[in-house]
Amino acid sequence: MSAVFDPSQNALSQDLASPEADVFALVAGASRRALAFGADGIVERARFEREVRALAAALPQAQHAVNLCENRYRFLVALCAVALRRQTNLLPSSRAPAVVEDVLARYPDSYCIGDEALDPAPPRYLQLPPTLAEQDGEPLQVDARALLAIGFTSGSTGQPKPNPKTWQAFRTSTAQNLAALGDLLRDDEVTFLVATVPPQHMYGMEMSVLLPLLGPVAVHAQRPFFPGDVARALSDAPTPPLLVTTPVHLRALVESGIELPALAGIVSATAPLPAELAQLAEARYRCEVREVFGSTETCVFARRRTARESAWTPLPGVRVCPQPDGTAIHAPHLPEPVVLADLMEVEADGRFVLRGRSADLLEIAGKRASLGDLTRKLLAIDGVVDGVVFQLDAADAFGVRRIAALVVAPTLSEPQILHALRQSIDPVFLPRPLRRVNALPRNETGKLPRHALEAMLHADTDSSVE
């Protein structure tokens, strides 16, 4: 096995030197470069390409493919096989049947591809065989302008929205991500990477799919979830690996007390990372915790070391421009600026501080607050393990949209939680109803889809405090 990455064979470097090229190699690096690894060993680029050719030849005719693979390596094979057939990968925010059905309804000329026996199986489902076939052939190339994937927002603020991504845009954003990770990657060898986030999520796509395809990175074939599984996956790496995760998974790791092998670093995204958690993780695992900022619409565009700084540093070529309704993000990989609902204050050196979201701002009885700040104050209560404050869509008899909360606090009653909240927030912003629950309805990346919050809130109104 050779894990050495040959920069001269790096298709990404060639792209940066020739940004106007029309065709690119599907995978970067030398033929014996490590692309994936696991308990069974290392998969090199040459084998990966043979499996991609064979699967591409077996795919049905269609315009789109819904990629539902759970195994990250098989997701990679399916993604590239679909691209090789000049089809577009559809990446739903969840593998829940209702979500998949919605995507299929939007894109009727589609089939589904996955690696597990699903029950119920989605329409037009192609399940990968236990052993992937291999096929020799010409070098794998793709059109730079081809639509590689359509990612969907999580639905945390409403209906999931599609976001098309071309191969060229992904290559440019991957160059920025390599710059964002910079000193966390090995200088002369492949960096091994373990990710807890699903590959269908844009953060997972960027950090655990595109990096091994286009950069000097090899990714673990599985997606570990529980702390013990994460520790075992990290132990499969022959050199200190990079852990790509979320605040929810990182907190579970820290609180589990499970020992981890030496790490190259930890990367976090999908939700705000508390500085206290970043500091605990850095002290426990003796490595840097680097938080990245992005969205399905923009991909990653900023970074920070949360344990030591609150301001974000934009990636190369990125400009952050505040405006009344949010912030416009200008980036080399974006065909046009993308306006986010996030409110940002830009400092003189170009770094920025997040001040909340325009949709989170509240004004009741002439007083102002933000849902983000109310949630932070809820989480600061001793005994609260998890929680969220959100605004209901329906208005009351006075035309005011009420504020609600779901709280995980095993040792506290709902009246006790409200009493504690009264000490730190104005009474007009007290969440009513407030409901104590066993766990919040977080998705695979730790986000809270709005429909799931409202469904949980109204599931048993008898136990809520009004």
Instruction: Answer whether residue 88 is part of any domain.
Output: yes
**446 with 396: CB under 8 angstroms?**
no
Domain carrying residue 417? 365-463
- C-alpha 466/C-alpha 252 separation (Å) is 32
Instruction: Answer whether residue 212 is part of any domain.
Output: yes
**Nearest Cα to Cα of residue 339 among 331, 327, 330:** 327
User: What domain count does the chain have?
Assistant: 2
| CATH number of domain containing 434 | 3.30.300.30
* Residue 136 burial by Cβ neighbours in a 10 Å radius (0-12, 13-18, 19+): exposed
Query: Are 38 and 181 part of one and the same domain?
Result: yes
Query: Are 333 and 376 part of one and the same domain?
Result: no
Q: What is the pTM of this model?
A: 0.81
**167 with 144: CB under 8 angstroms?**
yes
pLDDT digits (tens), the chain, 466 positions? 333 333 334 444 444 434 556 888 899 989 999 999 999 999 999 999 999 999 999 999 999 999 999 999 999 999 999 999 999 999 987 778 888 899 999 999 999 999 999 888 898 999 999 999 999 999 999 999 999 999 987 655 556 789 999 999 999 999 989 988 989 999 878 999 999 999 998 999 999 999 999 999 999 999 998 999 999 999 999 999 999 999 989 999 999 999 999 999 999 998 889 899 999 999 999 999 999 999 888 999 999 999 999 999 999 899 999 998 889 999 998 989 999 988 899 999 999 998 877 667 776 766 677 888 889 899 989 999 999 998 887 655 545 678 899 999 999 999 999 999 988 888 888 898 999 999 999 887 778 888 889 889 887 543 444 4
177: Cα separation from own chain's centroid: 13
Query: Are 36 and 180 part of one and the same domain?
Result: yes
Instruction: Answer whether residue 414 is part of any domain.
Output: yes
DSSP states along 106-124: H-SSEEEEESS--SSPPTT
Query: Are 189 and 275 part of one and the same domain?
Result: yes
Query: Are 116 and 38 part of one and the same domain?
Result: yes
Query: Are 332 and 370 part of one and the same domain?
Result: no
Tokens of 442: 């977080």
Q: What pairs with residue 166 in β-bridges?
A: 147
H or E stretch at 436: strand 434-436
35: Cα separation from own chain's centroid: 20
| CATH number of domain containing 111 | 3.40.50.12780
Domain termination site, one of 319, 354, 389 = 354
